[in-house]
Each structure stands twice: as C-alpha cells, then as structure tokens.
Amino acid sequence: MFTSKLMRPLTTGGVLASTVLFASGCKSMIVFDPKGPIGEQQRDLIYFTMLLCLILLVPVLLITAWIIWRYRDRKNNRAPYQPVWSHSTKLEIVWWGIPIAIIAILAVVTARYTYALDPAKPLVSDKKAVTIQVTSLDWKWLFQYPDQGIATVNYLAIPEKTPIKFELTSDGPMNGFWLPQLGGMIYTMSGMSTTMYLQADEPGNYMGTGANFTGREFAKMGFTAKAMPQKDFDQWVADAKASGNALTEEGYQTLAMPGTSGRMTFASIPSGLFERIVHDYSMSRGAPPGVTLKPMTLSDEKRLEREQEGQLPPGNNAQKDAPDVGSFGQSDPRSGHMHMIHGK
C-alpha cells in the first residue's frame, strides 16, 4: 500500500518533467528554426497540421480520462452491470462530422502547400538564381558551380537572399539531399537529374546531410552550407579559382571511388561532367532506340557472355541452341531483336 501511494506522485512528477524537457528541446529542433522561404512555409504547414490534430486529440483524451475516472470500479461495488443502449443522431453527427471536417480542411491546405512548395518551382526574386550541380558519391558530396567553373567537396557556399537552383544526381546508390533549415529533402538518383530551389535569407552556417542509408560510411555524409553576403561570395569564388587545384576526368574517377573525404576545393572542372554522370547511368542499360526492340538486363548480358564463351546456361542441355550474338549491332536470329552489349 505504501509503495503504491509513493509511486503515484513519482510517476506524475516524471511525466511532468518529461513534458517540460520535451517542450524545451523543441527550441533546438532546427526544422522549427527555418532561415529561408521554403523552410518557413514547411514549418507553417507542420504547425497548422499539429493544431488541427490537437483540436481533435485533446478533447478525446480528456473525455477518455473522465470516463475512466467516472465509471471506474470501486471497492465493495455490488451494483450489477446493466448497460442501457440507445442511439443519438445528434451525437453521431458530432463525433463523425468534426473529424470529417478536419480531414477535409487538412486535405485542401496540404494540396495548396504541395503545389506552392514544388521543389522545381523557381523562387520569385529580383536576383538571378545561382546554379549548383550536386552529385552524391560513396561517401561524400560533390558540388559543381557551372557558371563559376569551380567545385567543392563536402562544403557548400551560397550567397544570401539569392535563389539557389540545385540540380541533383547520384553516381552510386540513391541518397537524400537535405538542408533542414532551408527546405525539405529531395532524393538524388543515378541516371536522373532532379531540381530543387532553396534560399537562405540570412548569413550563417547551415547543416546539410545525406538522408538515406547508403552503406558503411553513410553517417559521415554531412556537409556545411555557408550563406554569405554577395561580395563575400564573389571573393570566395575568386579565391577558389586562384587555388590552382583542377578537377580532371581522372581526378573525378578517383574521387568517385568509395571512401570518405574532407573538404576540397577545385579551381576548374571538366566541361559537361554533371551531364555525363547522368547520361552514363541513363544510357548504360536498356534497349537500342526503337519501341519494338527488347531491352537488355544485366542478367541477360551475363548470360550472353557465358554463351559466347561456350558455357552452357543453367538448365540448358543443347549448346547448339546458344544464339550467335556478337558485338553491338548484331541480331539474334531466333527473335529478330537487336541486342546491345555494354561494358559498364
């Protein structure tokens, strides 16, 4: 009995303390401290959604607690359990109508924000957007500035109050590019180029990270995005060009190999490197041009390689049935299809 009485105030105090700690911790949640127009709108949508949910959730929890207390089973209670069932149309309308109305409001608001926050939608500004080409590697980030002719690794410099047009792809596993204080996350995918516009409204260092599991060192795919005044950004570009460290095609192949990396700055970049990365994956698989031709998968290529080397494919007892397939442009006499052999 004494233990039970002692546990009640301790449990109550623990719940209150946890609530206070959680509420104070929200101040350090950077998602709720946006520094750009996209981040601000996303925060507002989160707040609005939480408010609608609380309008429904708080009364339900209070009523549930009251019902449990009011109709609890007391000691020495010998009253029989004889519920009286009845139907109330008014109550049915209330507890069905309110949730339906909330869901309808939430659907309309979410649809409007979804259109307004389209990642590829340019931001309204009197300044020209700065284009940055982002490539996720194992396990590092490569940022190319095509207009400035420079590149960085694991470090991003941007001018404040200027729209930034991110063009994103991956030279490896799919990842997620995320700057929590500036806007939402968008995936980087090999063979695809996606676009996202963000903007920093004030100078500062903003955390950037990869938001997708990509293997052993995925946790180290963090970077810093530094927003600075335009004159400081121009000076940074000039200093980067003066560094003399050029990113060559061979240097990129070495950089793209799996492994971690520190910050790096390149004074020049190969022309069209980003486009070649996208093209390499988008064109290294599939069928030759033509809707009637059969696509080639990786397993098909391996099978054809075995057959060319005189090896029987699994489950095949007739070597004579192996097709005579040569290099690119030759046809399969059994199907009439053109096949492409890739060496990627």
Per-residue pLDDT tens listing for the chain (344 residues): 444 444 444 444 443 444 444 444 444 588 899 999 999 999 999 999 999 889 888 988 999 999 898 888 778 877 777 778 888 888 899 889 988 999 999 999 999 999 999 999 999 999 999 999 999 998 999 999 999 999 999 999 999 999 999 999 999 889 999 999 999 899 999 989 999 999 999 999 999 999 888 888 888 899 999 999 999 999 999 999 998 789 999 999 999 999 888 999 999 999 999 999 998 876 545 445 444 555 555 566 667 777 776 655 554 444 444 444 333 334 444 344 433 333 33
How far apart (Å, rounded) are the C-alpha atoms in residues 173 and 258? 11
Q: Residue 71's pLDDT is what?
A: 81
Minimal CA–CA distance to 261: which of 145, 132, 154, 157? 154
pLDDT for the residue numbered 340: 37
Distance CA 117, CA 185 (A): 12
Contact predicate 218/210, CB 8 Å: yes
CA distances for 81 relative to 73, 76, 77, 236, 299, angstroms? 11, 14, 10, 79, 69
Helix count (H) and strand count (E) of the chain?
Answer: 7, 11
φ/ψ of residue 277, rounded to 5 = -60, -45
Q: Rounded to an integer, what distance in angstroms lies between the CA atom of residue 189 and that of residue 166?
A: 14
Length of the chain equals 344
Q: Tell me what pLDDT residue 28 has.
A: 57
**pLDDT on residue 267:** 94
What pTM was estimated for this model as a whole? 0.69
